[in-house]
Each structure stands twice: as structure tokens, then as C-alpha cells.
Structure 1
């Protein structure tokens, strides 16, 4: 059963909001009455996502690694949709690779998207957040706290995202900006699961075995948490990293190892 939220008259902006978890969040906010802006670097994805958001939806193209492009997208969104009540920073990159075989550039790409991109979004958005009543939500990952083989780049980047969220909560709280992060577990039907989990029913069964609740999550599970954090009900919650994972965050290494074993055998 979903909790019903009302975001009528509010503006939610989701970076990376054209696919997977982030699109689910954007669609949930739109369904709850918000004006929603999604931002991604691929025009086709932006167009497809914006078409699902109704007449109050807006799609913009920007790469979070490009700070001027992020600033321009924010300015355009606010000019069209008004000050930002809820900002979700969810753009991310990932792939399986042993650290010894990962180039410095490959490592840098993920850090630039996940960590530097998160900073760009937050820093450039501050002036556009609704004064005294805004919510900033980062999308992190269990790799931020659980070391996982073949994930050195993501572990490093997401650990930085967690700390960025905590620091901004300290610095921006006096401005009325609440800052939190969501750490999703295995979410079915996402690009992350296609990249990081063994495929087929056997792979799905392995993943379910690692989740104490016995199932993979849905984009709706994450969207409900994002709406809670963006709502007045979470008005005294800031500086937290909240797992939405069915209890599985410390137990996902076998999934990564199985996926990596299959991928490495193909190369």
C-alpha cells in the first residue's frame, strides 16, 4: 500500500531523472501534483521521460560533470517552474572492473559523475532552493559503506556522496535546507541490476536470498521514501543516509562477485 502525498504547488527537480530509480521518483512526484523537471545528458531519454510527467513536466539536457550546464539547467527550470522545493541528485555511473585493470580515466569518470556531479548540482542549486523549506536528496549506494570487489570507483565516489550530504546538512541547515541521502538495495528492472547482478531466474533467486524481506525492491519503494523525505512529515530529518533495501545492504557482495565472474569469463 502506498502512502499518499500531496505536492501540489511545489517544484521537484530530478537530475538523472530519465531512467530507472530516478525516473520513478520524478513520476511519483508528478503523480502527487508537483511541477517536475528532469535533467539528463541524452536528449532522447529526456524527451521520453518528460512525456510521462504530464503537462507540468519539463525535460532539460545537461551533463552533471559540466558545472555551467548544470547552472543553466537550474536557471531554466526555475524560470519555467518556480523555486525548487525538492531537489534530487541521482546521476550515476557504474561498471564491473578489478582495480588493477581499471585505468585512472575509468575511475575518474565515475567519481566525476557521482561525486563531483553531486557537488555541482547542490552548489549551483542553493540559490534556487525555496528559502526556509527545501529538501535536497542524494541517491547513494551500499558501496558507500560496504567494500565490494570490482567496485573501487563506486565505493570511493559514493562514500564521498554520503559525507557531502552530512556536511551540507550542517552548513545549510540554518538556511532551512534539509539534506539527506537514500541508499537503494537491489531494485528490479534497473540498469544497475543488469550491470551488477547475475541475470535470469537463477540470478534473481540469488539476489532474493540475500534480502531478508525475500524480494527485490521496486522503483516505487524508493519513490515513496523520496517523497517522505521531501514532505513536511520529514521536517526534522536532515544529515541522514537511509537504506531502502529490505535489510540487505551488508550482504550484497555475493551478487557482485557472481555478476563479475560471469562478465570476466566472457572477456
Structure 2
């Protein structure tokens, strides 16, 4: 059974699981994305799932795409039942452009348009550079960076070039200071932030806006668990964040909704950091991170 939405101190509702919220309070017009279509990579779980839900609650139909069709099909049913909008699950691999092309063509056949692209698919784990294999480094860049370019290029060529649209890339603040155990993901996201600016310049004349949302620690996600969020929270590490807490998935979805919609119609080529101010003030605790990685490695064995 899905959790009841939690609303604390004026924050938007959220649930920790990959389920839809049983209640939702609109802070934008419910028709902000009426009859538009969003294509979301990695939309079957975590932040991507909540992005799909919030966009659908604002009148949008969605496509959620990743490699696991069974997981996507289950997620699509939840999203449609909760919002009354259509959600089409499609299997594809962002590292394989031919599968993206097939998925985009199926989207256009089903809906006749694509208005928003959310590049959310990503891979990450904690590992020091000295222990990181060449293949692991390459794989993260293939998913995060090549995957973002591949999907953006296919959607642009198939639809955005002639009709305009909005692209929102999901990034991270890892590379801003150089965080321990994250050279692979930090490098990939830094490349994506640069890509956002380049594509905004080149594709602006076609009516395409390209922006990025960079989340901080976000509760209720696999990344939060795998990257040590619960341990950091219990140790009081988040007290160093100006807002003194982790974010929630709905807050990230609201940032994406703003960037994807006409509410940000003159914004392009920008990175919106949504981390409660964490990257400005939180200690880059190398000793704690290395200790956490060692403990995790022991558990894996």
C-alpha cells in the first residue's frame, strides 16, 4: 500500500516510495501543461517518477522510458490511475541511439507531438578514483552524458527542430567543489552542464529552450540511499545545509515544471541549483565519505 503524503512545515507533499501521492496541492495552474506531451528518461522511479506525476497533474501526457519495461509498465499504471492522464511506457537504452529513435517515433505515432524532454536517466555509486575501473567510469559517462546528448539529438531532429520545445537536464552539484568518491558522476554532470549551454545557443533559433536542474540530497530516492543520505541525516550532517534538511522529490518536480513550462519562457542555458544551499556551506567531508565507502564495500562482500 502506498504511503500517505507527508507535508511538513509548508513543504509540498511527497511519499518516500515510488508511488503516487494520494493528495496534491497545486502551486501552479492545473492547466499549465494542458494537452502537452513530455518524454522522460528514467521515469519509472525516484525523481523521474515524481516529475512524471507532477507534470501529469498539470495536464500533461507523458512517456516514461528506460531499459526495464516491466517496471515502467507498473509505474505507468500508477501514474495514469492517480492523474487521469495518459502515460506510455517504452523500453529503450539511452546509450543506443537506434532504440531512442524507435521510442521517439512511437511517441509521435501515439501523441502526434513532443513538447518537453526530461533527461533524467543516470547511473551513480560511491567509489574512489583509485578503485574505479576504466569500464565503470566509461559506463557512467555513457549513461549520463552520452545518454543526454543522444536523446536530445534524436528528439531535436525528429520534432523540436521544426516545432520548438523545452529540454530539462537533471544534473547534480558534485563537480562544483570536487567531491570524494564521485569523479565519474561529477565529470559526467559537469559535461552535461556545459552541454546545456551549448545546445541552448545552437537550438534557440529553432524555439528550443535548454535548461538544467541540479538537485542536492533528495530523500526517497535510490541515489539518496546508495550515496549515504540516511547515514548523513542521522549523523546530523544536514545541519550544515542552510535549509538544514534534505529536499524531497516533489520539490525537484516543481523545479522541472517551472523550467519546462511557459512560466520560464525567456529562460534558457541556465542551471537551477535546487539543493537548499548545500553546495555553498556543507563540508566536503573526505574522511567520512571514505569511511562510508569502506563499510559499504565490506557489506557488499
Q: Using structure 2 for the length normalisation, give the TM-score.
A: 0.83
With over 3 angstroms needed to count, the CA separation of the structure-2 counterparts of 1:204 and 1:20, relative to structure 1, is farther
- State how 1:145-184 maps to structure 2 within 5 Å: 145-184=176-215
Instruction: Tell me what 2:45 maps to.
Output: 19
In the TM superposition, what whole-angstrom CA distance separates every residue of 1:26-74 from its partner, at most 9, and x where no partner exists? 1111111111111011122211211122151111111111111011111
- CA gap 1:60/1:262 in 2 versus in 1, 3 angstroms: same
Where in structure 2 are the equivalents of 1:218-229 lying within 5 Å?
Answer: 218-229=248-259
2:175 corresponding residue in structure 1 = 144
1:89 aligns with 2:119: yes
Aligned position for 1:128 = 159
CA distance in 2: counterparts of 1:56 and 1:130, whole angstroms:
25
Is 2:63 aligned against 1:37? yes
CA RMSD of aligned residues (A): 1.8
C-alpha contact (below 8 Å) 1:149/1:253 kept by paired residues: no
Shift of 1:146: 2.5
Assess, with a 3 A threshold, how the Cα gap between structure 1 residues 195 and 259 changes in structure 2: closer, same or farther.
farther
Partner of 1:258: 288
Contact 1:83 1:130 in 2 (8 A): no
C-alpha contact 2:240 2:283 (8 A) present in aligned 1 = no
2:22 match: none
Q: 1:191 aligns with which of 222, 225, 244?
A: 222
Q: Judging changes above 3 Å, is the alpha-carbon distance between structure 1 residues 190 and 170 closer, same or farther for their aligned structure 2 residues? A: same
Q: How many residues align?
A: 266
Q: Paired residue for 1:8?
A: 34
Q: Do the aligned partners of residues 72 and 185 (structure 1) sit closer, same or farther apart at CA in structure 2, a change above 3 Å counting?
A: same
User: 1:79: Cα distance to partner?
Assistant: 1.0
d(CA) in 2 for partners of 1:225, 1:79: 29
Secondary structure of 1:25's partner? helix
Post-superposition offset of 1:258: 2.9
Identify if the C-alpha distance between structure 1 residues 255 and 43 changes in structure 2 by more than 3 Å, giving closer, same or farther: farther
TM-score by length of structure 1 reads 0.93
Cα drift, residue 239 of structure 1:
0.2
For the residues of structure 1 that align with 2:190 and 2:260, how far apart are their CA atoms? Answer: 22
CA displacement at 1:203 relative to structure 2: 3.3
Q: Is the 8 A contact 1:64 1:70 kept in 2?
A: yes
**Cα distance 1:204–1:172, how it changes in 2: closer, same or farther (>3 A)?**
farther
Contact 1:96 1:196 in 2 (8 A): yes
| CA spacing shift, 1:9–1:198, aligned 2, 3 Å | closer
